[in-house]
Chains A and B, each alone.
Chain A
Amino acid sequence: MSNSESGNVGIVIVSHSAKIAEGAADMVRQMVGNAVPLAWTGGDPEGGLGTNVAGILKAIEIAWSSAGVAILVDLGGAETNSEMAVEMLAEDRRGRVVICNAPVVEGAVIAATESSGGSSLSAVQRSAEEFYA
């Protein structure tokens, strides 16, 4: 997990697998660079496959940016747990977090690319979601 204080939209990667989440984050760092706040979370608290709300909340905290945070998720539970985590955020932050309807790896790279150019949260989300457009 890592962060860099910039005005750029933060990216959170949520996968059932810690390895996938970490690997996707590695790709973002290598391909896009360090200008984007980035955090990942994956696996259940016991170290198995799964996602957990506490881990997602922590990742949002790490990647937090005043410009907002875009979350990339893989399957089912990753999305519902992310939605739950967003609901648990302070009210002033809740509206600045979006869950992107995009493939987790590609979406993370594209969202970060968009963010690195200083784009808004909605532009970051739109760009990531172009994959399914």
Chain B
Amino acid sequence: MHDANASRASKSFTTLTASAVLVNPVGLHARPSVKLTQCAKSFAATIEIALDADGPWTDAKSPVKVMRVKAPQGAMLYFRVTGLDGEAALAAVLALVHDGFGEASSSD
């Protein structure tokens, strides 16, 4: 359930936005938060999340802040990504959400 249509905004780097529904049972709790921040940190781009398309936006590279969002299962998670590797970053975080942070399958 992706809306990967990017909204083009800024001058230097295009800011990409997308949203996806949290499908994993616990929502964005501790373990998914860690996975999301680890994924986000592997990109140079600025990656932010929000529960509303208008924000407030939270730095997806901060595990503490991501956990504080307390996004439950079924919530729509919005992403805002800006940077050179923004497209790859957005694809990676969306894939993570789409896969339920790997929680449906094995627990590692």
Please list the residues of chain A having a beta carbon within 8 angstroms of any beta carbon in chain B: 30-33, 109-110, 113-114, 116-119, 127, 130-131
Name the one of A113, A118, A131 contacting B34, with C-beta atoms under 8 angstroms. A113
Q: Which residues of B contact A114 (CB under 8 A)?
A: 63
| Residues in A neighbouring B38, C-beta threshold 8 A | 32, 113, 116-117
A117 and B34 contact, Cβ closer than 8 Å, known pairs A110-B63, A130-B64, A131-B64: no
Q: A109-B30, A109-B34 are in contact. Are A130 and B42 (CB under 8 A)?
A: no
- The contact string, 1 if C-beta is below 8 Å from chain A, for chain B 71-96, is 00000000000000000000000000
Q: CB within 8 Å of A: which residues of B?
A: 30-31, 34, 37-38, 41-42, 61-65, 107-108
Task: Give the CA-CA distance A118 to B62 in the complex, in Å.
Answer: 14
| Given A31-B31, A31-B34, A130-B65 contact (CB < 8 Å) | yes
The residues of B that contact A109 with a CB separation of less than 8 Å are: 30, 34, 63
Instruction: For the complex, give the distance between the alpha carbons of A127 and B33 in Å.
Output: 14
**A127, B62: Cβ atoms closer than 8 Å:** yes
CB distance A117 to B30 under 8 Å?
A: no
B13 to chain A, nearest CB (A): 21
| A-B residue pairs, 4 tightest by C-beta | A117-B41, A130-B64, A113-B63, A31-B34
Give the distance to chain A from B105, nearest Cβ to Cβ, in Å. 15
Look across to chain A and name the residue whose beta carbon is closest to the beta carbon of B40.
A117
Query: In the bound complex, do residue B42 and residue A117 qualify as a contact, i.e. CB atoms below 8 Å apart?
Result: yes
Residues of the B chain whose Cβ atoms lie less than 8 Å from the Cβ of A127:
62-64
Residue of B30, B42, B61, B62 touching A31 (CB-CB under 8 A): B30
User: Cβ of B63: which chain A residues have Cβ within 8 Å of it?
Assistant: 109-110, 113-114, 127
- Contact flag A32-B65 (CB < 8 Å), given A117-B41, A117-B42: no
- Residues in A whose Cβ lies below 8 Å from that of B37: 113, 117
Q: Which residue of B lies closest to A118 (CB)?
A: B41
Point out the residues of chain A lying under 8 angstroms from B41, CB to CB: 117-119
Given contacts A113-B34, A130-B62, 5 further A-B contacts (CB under 8 A): A30-B108, A31-B30, A31-B31, A109-B30, A117-B42
Instruction: Give Cα distance in the complex from A131 to B68, angstroms.
Output: 10
Q: List 20 A-B contacts (CB under 8 A).
A: A30-B31, A30-B107, A30-B108, A31-B30, A31-B31, A109-B30, A109-B63, A110-B63, A113-B38, A117-B37, A117-B38, A117-B41, A117-B42, A118-B41, A119-B41, A127-B62, A127-B63, A130-B62, A130-B65, A131-B64
